[in-house]
Structure 1
Amino acid sequence: MLSKAQIKYIQSLQHKKYRQKSGQFIAEGDKIVPELLQAGIPVRDVYATATWISTHRSLLDRTPVVRITEVEESVLKQLSALTTPNQALALLDIPGSAAIEPASLKGTVSLALETIQDPGNMGTIIRIADWFGIRQIICSPDCVDAYNPKTIQATMGSIARVSILESDVVTLLQQAGVPSYAATLHGTDITQFSRLKEGIILIGNESRGLSDAVIAVSTHKITIPRLGGAESLNAGVAAGIICGRLLI
């Protein structure tokens, strides 16, 4: 049984200021919660129905969950940030922020995002990074919170395998010491590039794209060749196409 104070606290984590204050976030989903448990990241609490707990008992027994609380579906509905609640919700600590060292950018490919605003896009891009083996994403301070419940839902568990860092993107590029590839509408066709082994792929705001300041300090301006009449591509879709072409 959860107290009113516990319910209120979990509900508060739907809002960024309370996530920042507490250093915790929630993840919902019958598939996402097991994914996070299997990834081995610290899970503070699991709130789930009796059926879900019974089905996943062996997984719960071999992972370091601090507390497992059986709740009714009606309680999960109270806790949920989703229109259709799932049978399980997990409470986790937000990983501590770390300074970005230029050396960490060497010999690998990273994604940098500027002013991404849609939680679904952010989650999709994190999932794309995981698919292509990108282990870190650097977000500008004005990006949507990567630990927004809708973002976590869209990652489908990939948040467990991709580090989310924060930095001013212009400063990052000035200090990086590796090539950078800015997605624009008027760059060099991505099919002209060979497979990347090192560098930063830059994706900008859903409606405005990358700022002029970021484009100016990037080493390469790239574009996805357009064959039809669409004005632009969704940020997540663009990130997927670019990673698919440059990383395989």
Structure 2
Amino acid sequence: MVSKSQIKLIKSLSQKKYRNKHQLFVVEGRKGVEEFLDSSFELFALFSSSEDYKVSSELYFPASEDELKKISFLKTPTDVVAVFKLKESEEIIESALKVVLDGVRDPGNLGTIIRLCDWFGIKTLICSRDTVDCFNPKVVQASMGSLTRVSVKYTALGELFENNPELPVYGTLLEGENLYTSTLENNGFLLLGNEANGISEEIKPFITHKITIPQFGAIQSTESLNVATATAVALSEFKRGVFTEK
């Protein structure tokens, strides 16, 4: 049974201020929950209509379908909702390619980018402080467990680049050099901007290499690709160069 106090607590975790206050976040769905159970994240409570999960009895709470609906953030609730404890993000890894996001606001985009980092072996994802919180329930859901393997760090991007002047900064801009003909190093920063406004003006001066994904179709549009799509294309090209060298 799920108590009223538990329902109130879980629903409050939709907001960042309460996630920070309680140091907790929510994971839903069998795949995501199993990924987090197998990770270094510590379980706080698990609510499920199934007894398949191997967790201690004091952390397991049987829940009916109606009770799961009350604590779920999904339109179609699954058979498990788990609450995990937040932990400090790891230090920025100072080697290999790192993805940097400047003001990405859409939870689905961030969750997808975390999955892409996991797929392409990117261990560090660095976000500006105004980027959506990676423990937002929609981000966690979209990341499909990849958040357990990708270190997400929030910091001031200007300070980040100032403290690492030896590393190239590849900024994705409409007026950049063709990505497919650019010389790319698999050691540096790949910088992508906000969905509507792109990379902020105060961060643009730190870009050492302006790159763009050229348009081949006939659609007349001044809008750029979706930021998650652009991340996938750019990472694929960076990694293609690595494999070509071997």
- Whether these two folds match at TM > 0.5 is yes
Check conservation: 2:2, 2:62, Cα contact below 8 A.
no
Does 1:91 find its partner at 2:80?
Answer: no
Residue matched to 2:244: none
1:112-191 matches, cutoff 5 A: 112-176=100-164, 177-191=166-180
Question: Aligned residue pairs: how many?
Answer: 236
Residue matched to 2:38: 38
Check conservation: 1:7, 1:78, Cα contact below 8 A.
yes
Code of the residue aligned with 2:145 in structure 1: it is G
Code of the residue aligned with 2:49 in structure 1: it is T
Deviation at 1:97, TM superposition (A): 4.3
Deviation at 1:42, TM superposition (A): 2.0
Check conservation: 1:33, 1:157, Cα contact below 8 A.
yes
Structure 1: gaps (5+ residues) = none
Code of the residue aligned with 1:227 in structure 2: it is F
Check conservation: 2:41, 2:85, Cα contact below 8 A.
no
Deviations along 1:129-173, one digit per CA (max 9) or x if unpaired, are 111011111111111111110111100110111111111112211
1:208-247 matches, cutoff 5 A: 208-228=197-217, 229=219, 230=221, 231-247=223-239
Code of the residue aligned with 2:67 in structure 1: it is V
Q: 1:240 to 1:74 in 2, by over 3 A?
A: same
Residue matched to 1:199: 188
Residue matched to 1:76: 68
Check conservation: 1:204, 1:211, Cα contact below 8 A.
yes
Check conservation: 2:182, 2:211, Cα contact below 8 A.
no
SS state at 1:90 partner: strand
Q: TM-score, normalised by structure 2?
A: 0.90
Q: TM-score, normalised by structure 1?
A: 0.89
Deviations along 1:101-155, one digit per CA (max 9) or x if unpaired, are xxx32x3111111110100001011111111011111111111111110111100
Counterparts of 1:95 and 1:237 in 2: how far apart (Å)?
Answer: 29
Deviation at 1:223, TM superposition (A): 0.5
Counterparts of 1:173 and 1:20 in 2: how far apart (Å)?
Answer: 27
Counterparts of 2:233 and 2:106 in 1: how far apart (Å)?
Answer: 19
Does 1:48 find its partner at 2:36?
Answer: no
Counterparts of 2:193 and 2:144 in 1: how far apart (Å)?
Answer: 22
Code of the residue aligned with 1:241 in structure 2: it is V
Q: Which range is displaced more, 190-199 or 206-215?
A: 190-199
Deviation at 1:23, TM superposition (A): 1.3
SS state at 1:11 partner: helix
